[in-house]
Amino acid sequence: MRQYELVDRVKAYNPHTDEALLNRAYVYAMRAHGSQKRASGAPYISHPLEVAAILTELKLDDATIVAALLHDTIEDTETTREEIDRLFGHDIGQLVDGLTKIQKLDLVSKKAAQAENLRKLLLAIADDVRVLLIKLADRLHNMRTLHFVPEGKRARISEETLEIYAPLAGRMGMQDLREELESLAFQHLMPDAYAAIRHRLDELGPKSGPLIERIENELTQKLAASGIKAQVKGRLKRAYSIWKKMERKSVSFEQLSDLFGFRVIVDSVADCYAALGIVHTTWSSVPGRFKDYISTPKQNDYHSLHTTVVGPGRQRVELQIRTREMDRLAEYGIAAHALYKDEATGQPSDGKVRESNAYAWLRRTVETLAEGENAEEFLEHTKLELFHDQVFCFTPKGRLIALPRNATPIDFAYAVHTDVGDTAVGAKVNGALVPLVSTLRNGDEVEIVRAEGQTPPSAWEAIVVTGKARAAIRRATRAAVRNQYSGLGQQIVERAFERIEKPYSEERLKIALPRLARTSIEDVFAAVGRGEMYSGDVVKAVYPDYREEQAAGAGANLAEGGWFGMKQGQGLVFKVPGAGDGAQENQSAIPIRGIGGDLPVQFAPNGGAVPGDRIVGILTPGTGITIYPIQSPALTAFDDQPERWLDVRWDIDEAHPQRFPAQLHVTVINEPGVLAQVATVIGESDGNIDAISITGKTADFREMIIDIEVWDLRHLSAIISQLKAKPVIHAVTRVNG
């Protein structure tokens, strides 16, 4: 763009433009910027000139074009506001000063007072909306040339564009500008995704051109045959809108069926509805995809009819039907309302704009700013309607947190800090306790209730909507599981050294790490806890000369976990130290509290185990410890694997009682109401039924397997006694799988 070309573009829509003013502004800006260069190496003046050229497409007044030429002078040169006022007038000086204030904002900085910065931005643009129009044009040209900027800055600028300026353009009704800003930001923020979608669209190019032309022609002819003069314009959708739909619907590119969008431009509102009727009677409409933004316009003054049909060639297409005036409003947004020149004389007027919904929103925002005591109160009251694709919430101290739509307090917690998310156990929204899975709304004040030592449940990963939260939950879950295995492995290893009466120390184990092919002691513990390595291997690595002693005359081998295998006839019998014949409990055994503790524990799948049972621990690779009652016949499957047997004991926390799983086999008389009687007995006895299945049927009897949860063995025995007392119950036995 050259100086004379800019003047010609302004004269094309405003024959009465002040050429001298435009030329004077160009010369002043060129001298002010002097030898300054852009990142591309081009003279700096090329940037304000291109910004002004973008604004000529919106047909804006002389003052706006001049302010665009001068918009960086106060910020980047020795120019002052007073000098701009003296040379070009107060109106232009005020525009340039407003832009200078915006330049100083860092809208995505985590260190900045984000609410206050956004408040300043809205104040600047609300004072004169032309400030926003210049800023958007400035940002658009910067994004078009972003590839010249150092790579480290591109992500920050693109993020700011996608989170602030693109939604702001949309809120002002400037949809085309918003789409281009989104597309350019997407290209730099997610280059791989952009390149993949762009490649697919390029592949469609040879096919889509003729198809778009065919649909345009058929639509035009159909409407003309009914006496409706229409202009039909079709195009492939932009890469960013396609990616958003893929993300929102969790579908692949191949699964998208509506890649084409068409605008049908007619002369009147009546023609809009008539055209819609013709379209719907010619092609099948897609249910749920019709929206009437003519009778109910969007808040940014957008008017149009939207529908999706299965059109020519069975191709699904989206249609937007609107008048020429509606199309102008959709393209220029709030700029289309500008009365920057007097309609009678064509001369510049006072720079005011006709009241529109978008500008009315801006005015309401300013009024709220004036009433509110601080930026946080302002944002809370207005609920930030500006950001349709985001919600903005606050910490109790007023910090602004931006989140995607449908975000939860869990997302909020992780947005504040990873440690806050990891330790979250509850949330208060606007002072009221709410579930962590609740959906947040604009303006909510969120307080996260924390508990030290808390680990985020892995199920949260399916609930949250932010990538940061998902990644953090995944990391925390893996770390918690590793810590559980590591803690279990450490106990097993330490007890293994105790049994052989050899000294154990981390220093000795550290020296033995190369023999175990591990890089850290924690790796060794975790491997033992997962069952990938046995404690005997660790003992031999630390004491290579150690050999297990054979018990004289008994033929006993010392096995894992304090178990002794004694050959007796043809079988191998196991005996638990401290678990039989009334012997006292072995305090060196691994303490078991239940599921969800510090160790990876599960109970026998058939029958479970309850406090009061004498129990056995079996080290299960990849799972941790599986707890069995000593009488469980399932233990015979591990007779030939003594290294997997662990010496375990109950360690019940009286202050925090837990229920434990058990299983009952109940035979009942076959008559109506028996199941209700069984459930009543268990419920009245404070038992909790997990599942019931019918395993056998005869004419007279039914056999049931009931999974229940009880406090301990005494509680289980009491429930069994109560069931046996019922006349309709023939037999009750505990299952020991």
Which of the residues are catalytic?
75-76
DSSP string, 511-527: HTHHHHT-SSHHHHHHH
Q: Do 694 and 729 form a contact (C-beta atoms < 8 A)? A: no
Look up residue 609 and give its two tokens: 């185990």
DSSP-assigned beta bridge partners for residue 260: 236, 317
Residue 496 CA, chain-centre distance (Å), reads: 45
Q: CB of 508 within 8 A of CB of 515?
A: no
Residue matched to tokens 């009221």 = 432
> How many Å apart are CA 409 and CA 446, to the nearest integer?
7
What is the rounded CA–CA span in Å between residue 136 and residue 60? Answer: 13
Give yes or no for a contact between 594 and 608, defined as CB atoms under 8 angstroms apart. no
Instruction: Give the tokens for residue 288.
Output: 């749920």
208 CA to centre of own chain:
34
Rounded CA separation 319/261 (Å): 6
SS3 of the chain: helix, strand, coil, percent, to 5:
50, 20, 35
What is the three-class DSSP state of 707? Answer: strand
Instruction: Give CA–CA dist 84/30, Å, rounded.
Output: 14
Q: What distance in Å separates the CA atoms of residue 658 and residue 361, rounded to the nearest whole number?
A: 56
Q: Is-contact 362 125, C-beta < 8 A?
A: yes
CA distance 143 to 161: 8
Structure tokens at 414: 């992780």
How far apart are the C-alpha atoms of 719 and 702, rounded to whole Å? Answer: 19
The residue length of the chain stands at: 737
Nearest CA-CA partner of 298 in 386, 206, 393, 365:
386
Measuring CA to CA, which residue among 242, 364, 347, 236 is closest to residue 299? 364
User: What is the per-residue burial (b if ≥16 Cβ within 10 Å, else e) of 370-388?
Assistant: eebeebbbbbbebebebbe
Measured distance between the N- and C-terminal CA atoms of the chain, rounded to whole angstroms: 84
Angle, vertex CA 299, rays to CA 293 and CA 305, nearest 5: 10
Angle, helices 239-249 vs 175-189, to 10°: value is 70
Per DSSP, the residues of 214-279 read HHHHHHHHHHHHTT---EEEEEEPPHHHHHHHHHHHT--GGG----EEEEEEESSHHHHHHHHHHH
